[in-house]
Amino acid sequence: MSNPSILILPGDGIGPEVMAEVRKVIDWYGAKRDLAFDVSEDLVGGAAYDKHGVPLADETMAKAQEVDAVLLGAVGGPKYDVLDFSVKPERGLLRLRKEMDLFANLRPAQCFDALADFSSLKKDVVAGLDIMIVRELTSGVYFGEPRGIFEEGNERVGINTQRYTESEIERAARAAFELAMKRNKKLCSMEKANVMESGILWREVVTRVGEEYPEVELSHMYADNGAMQLVRAPKQFDVIVTDNLFGDILSDCAAMLTGSLGMLPSASLGAPMANGRPKAMYEPVHGSAPDIAGQGKANPIACILSFAMALRYSFDQGDEATRLETAIEKVLADGVRTADLMGPEGGTPVSTSEMGDKIIEALDASL
């Protein structure tokens, strides 16, 4: 039986640096846990544009469709701001999401005890926080037609259309309910059914799907109230499901509850392939941070945690994912800090590669 396959797309800025630390972890699992992966690597974003003139080559897209999981670093940078919109680095990422039909974006927001003081909220509000936002990723206002900037009378008008089909809502809802079943069986759906017809349909479909999951406690909340509640009492939530636009906003709001974007992974999942695994792409939430690229200052933890999500959701290795997450928690508890995590209480400053080495040491200690 062949090994599970992974396509690594380091991308731009700090992407190659943080992905190098993921490679260390992948190699560790092959050497120490008899869990080997067939790993290939290619270009995306600005790096792909520099070589191919497009942010994602067709050959790379074909590879992404064939592997069991894609690991992506980050894309973009000021160097590419002058490019036409159609070939900006971010278009490569959007093409991957769209053509792989990655409709469910999983954005966890977990506050490690050692970093609770880094949040802008009081420690008792965020300590122990562990929530998951499921964002519908391939429809809604970012993709709806008509869209564009048009002449209307003597002025221009910008149009974007919020559009959802029942089936698009249903598959996102089902993914969220399945996730809730594996967690605390509690799901909150967020929309704007009070002012948007798409919100009314969203609520109706989620409610209908919920009838298939009687064990899950389903609640509904208007998205603006949801944003307020996330900063007032975030631990009231476990799993949140919402549309593309609100998910974009709410997940970034939840991200900052944890204190650092350098700590947050994400997963984008699609329909099951022939082998039963969902099509999947995993990436850190942070951007390409070109201002610190090549300086060894980047925090690789979000990217490594993204691989932990791959272990859990693509490779059915939940115990090994927990092993990796626990190793990271141990390193942080020991006061090991990259530059973004250095607070008033100090700690042991380390570079990007040194953080990776510390995590490997913690993994060794877990055996």
Tens of pLDDT along 253-279?
Answer: 888 888 776 788 999 999 888 788 889
pLDDT in tens, 243-254: 999 999 999 888
Res 1: pLDDT: 67
Which CATH homologous superfamily contains domain 130-257? Isopropylmalate Dehydrogenase (3.40.718.10)
Res 117: pLDDT: 80
Mean pLDDT of the residues in the chain: 94
Annotated binding site: 77-90, 97, 107, 135, 224, 248, 252, 287-299
pLDDT in tens, 98-142: 899 999 999 999 888 888 887 878 888 888 899 999 999 999 999
Catalytic residues: 142, 192, 224, 248, 252
Res 224: pLDDT: 98
**Mean per-residue pLDDT for 137-152?**
94
Annotated binding site for NAD(+): 77-90, 287-299
Domain with CATH 3.40.718.10 in the chain: 1-107+263-367, 130-257
State how far the Cα of 276 lies from the Cα of 278, in Å rounded to an integer: 6
Other CB atoms within a 10 A radius of the CB of residue 36 amount to: 14
Res 128: pLDDT: 85
Pairing status of strand 239-242 against strand 217-222: unpaired
CB-based contact 199:192 (threshold 8 Å):
yes
- Please give the biggest Cα pair distance in the chain: 71
CB-based contact 201:209 (threshold 8 Å):
no
Res 275: pLDDT: 82
| Torsion angles phi and psi, residue 33, rounded to 5 | -125, 10
Res 113: pLDDT: 82
Q: Report which of 102, 100, 97, 105 is spatially closest to residue 65, judged by C-alpha positions.
A: 100
283 has pLDDT over 80: yes
51 has pLDDT over 80: yes
Annotated binding site for substrate: 97, 107, 135, 224
Bridge partners of 148, per DSSP, are 159
1-107+263-367: CATH, from 3.40.50.410, 3.40.718.10, 3.90.320.10, 3.30.30.10: 3.40.718.10
Q: What is the pLDDT confidence band of residue 346, given thresholds at 50, 70 and 90? A: confident
